[in-house]
Chain A
Amino acid sequence: MIKKIFFQLVFFNLFFLKEVFAAESGGMPQLNPEFWISQIFWLTLTFGILYVVLSKLILPKISANLELRKSQIQENIEAAEKQRESSEAKLKEYDDIISKSKLEANNIFKEARENVLKEINTKKETLDKQIDEEVKKVEQEINLLKKGASEKINKIAIETTSELLVKLIGTEVNNSSISAIVDDLSKRNGNKYYGN
């Protein structure tokens, strides 16, 4: 239906092509002063109202909105900046605390080690002294025993020889002569028996 009307219009206009462009008359309507006053009046009225409403009501609101947003964004940026700074300060504090506590721990560890070492040293010294004393005592005893041992052996040797002589020969021999011989032997061969 619409198509039909469209084509009818097209052919209708082709038919009147000459008349379409022949209808030039009157020139520019802009230069016809009939409605100039009316246009000036309505232009002044509408533009005046537009200007007054825009400048008194709408533009200040837009400007205020923009300012408000700007200040809000600025405030937010400032707040973020502050928070960043405070968090940085806190981080620094935390780092300080950690390094301080590390240092303290180190000190405590050192002190404890020194104390333990001191104790160990003192105990070691006392133990060493005791050991030394005891070793000295034992050495003295050994020395005493050594000295006593050769005399006792000599005595035992003299007694056994005298008894042996009595049983073998049947007569008693003078003890002093026997002891002289034993002493002589022990002196000669003492190294062999006692390790002196």
Chain B
Amino acid sequence: MAANPMTQFEVYRIGPEIKIGAFDISFTNASLFMVVSSLAILIIFNLGSKKNSLLPNKVQLLAELSYTFVSKMISDTAGSKAKPYFSFIFSLFMFVLFCNMFGMIPYTFTVTSHIIVTFVLAAFIFIGVTVIGFIKHGLGYLKLFVPSGVPIVLLPLIVVIEIISYLSRPISLSVRLFANMMAGHTMMKVFGGFVISLGVVGGWLPLSFSVALTGLEILVAFLQAYVFAILTCIYLNDALNLHH
């Protein structure tokens, strides 16, 4: 019996230890679920794009609905200029969604409940968006920190706040996803523990909570993937269409 609600987040090696130089890149349970999620995405979308019938079957419909969903999300938030980044945002959304969803299956590992994973994704997005912004607008991208229509007296303060908020983007983006996933899974574990410890007599209440929490967590799993993707779109929009 796993007693500690945090033990579900422990990473352990599967198979031999692999080292490149000083770095340990062993295959772990986290790696396993990254591979599983990616493979699931590839299999589903490959099946969904294989045959093109005028009346799509279920898998094809799923793939095409996801495609139009993400494409609409991007065009709504970042406009038509964001079309070249569609594949990246689609992969990102699907990867986060599938990692979240696989984490909902009992005895699995939730990849996105690790700050390092979400932070690497967020940092990559942050650096990418910043690079795109500077390529598209040159030094004019710095105007992002100077909102128009602000009194000159307030300008130094506003600029500092804008810069801090810009720099905290990767942190807020990564911590949001990581904290949501970790908190949800911890809570489910705690309620599960209550069910066991209270037994047949008192266990029904935490069990019903656990059932309700499962539904909520599935919602959160989807919602956080959506939020992650849509925030990426919003950052991309800042870089592509300088509004300030």
Complex contact A35–B24 (CB within 8 A): yes
Closest approach, in angstroms, between the C-beta of A26 and any C-beta of chain B? 8
Closest approach, in angstroms, between the C-beta of B85 and any C-beta of chain A? 10
**A29 contacts which of B9, B68, B178 (Cβ < 8 Å)?**
B9
Q: 8 Å CB contacts to B: which residues of A10-25? A: 10-11, 13-14, 17, 19-21, 23-25
Complex contact B38–A43 (CB within 8 A): no
Range class of the A interface residue count? 35 or more
How many residues of chain B get a CB closer than 8 Å to chain A's CBs?
59
Task: With A42-B27, A53-B42 as known contacts, state yes or no: A20 contacts B197, CB within 8 Å.
Answer: yes
Instruction: Give the residues in chain A near B31, CB-CB below 8 Å.
Output: 38-39, 42, 46
Complex contact A47–B95 (CB within 8 A): yes
With the chains together, A121 CA to B4 CA distance in Å? 125
Q: 8 Å CB contacts to A: which residues of B43-78? A: 45-46, 48-50, 52, 54, 60, 63-64, 67-68
With the chains together, A72 CA to B90 CA distance in Å? 26
Closest approach, in angstroms, between the C-beta of B243 and any C-beta of chain A? 28
Please tell me if A175 contacts chain B, counting CB pairs below 8 Å: no
With the chains together, A41 CA to B19 CA distance in Å? 11
Please tell me if A49 contacts chain B, counting CB pairs below 8 Å: yes
Instruction: Give the residues in chain A near B35, CB-CB below 8 Å.
Output: 42, 46
The stretch that binds B, out of A55-63, A142-150, A154-162, is A55-63
Closest approach, in angstroms, between the C-beta of A33 and any C-beta of chain B? 8
The stretch that binds A, out of B113-121, B135-143, B229-237, is B113-121
Instruction: Give the residues in chain B near A43, CB-CB below 8 Å.
Output: 34, 111, 117, 120-121
One digit per residue, 1 when the CB lies within 8 angstroms of any chain B CB and 0 when it does not, for chain A 59-103 equals 101111110110010000000000000000000000000000000
Task: With A34-B11, A41-B25, A43-B121 as known contacts, state yes or no: A29 contacts B6, CB within 8 Å.
Answer: yes
With the chains together, A9 CA to B35 CA distance in Å? 34
Complex contact A59–B199 (CB within 8 A): no
Q: 8 Å CB contacts to A: which residues of B3-45? A: 3-4, 6-7, 9-11, 13, 23-28, 30-31, 34-35, 37-38, 41-42, 45
Please tell me if A40 contacts chain B, counting CB pairs below 8 Å: yes
Please tell me if B108 contacts chain A, counting CB pairs below 8 Å: no
With the chains together, A41 CA to B11 CA distance in Å? 14
With the chains together, A41 CA to B198 CA distance in Å? 42
Complex contact A62–B64 (CB within 8 A): yes
Please tell me if A54 contacts chain B, counting CB pairs below 8 Å: yes
Q: 8 Å CB contacts to A: which residues of B149-169? A: none
Q: List 30 A-B contacts (CB under 8 A).
A: A11-B199, A14-B198, A23-B3, A23-B4, A29-B9, A29-B10, A35-B28, A37-B24, A37-B25, A38-B11, A38-B31, A39-B30, A39-B114, A41-B25, A42-B25, A42-B31, A43-B111, A46-B35, A46-B37, A47-B34, A47-B38, A49-B38, A50-B94, A54-B41, A54-B90, A58-B46, A59-B90, A62-B49, A63-B67, A64-B52
Further pairs besides A13-B197, A46-B37: 4, Cβ < 8 Å: A51-B88, A54-B45, A65-B60, A66-B64
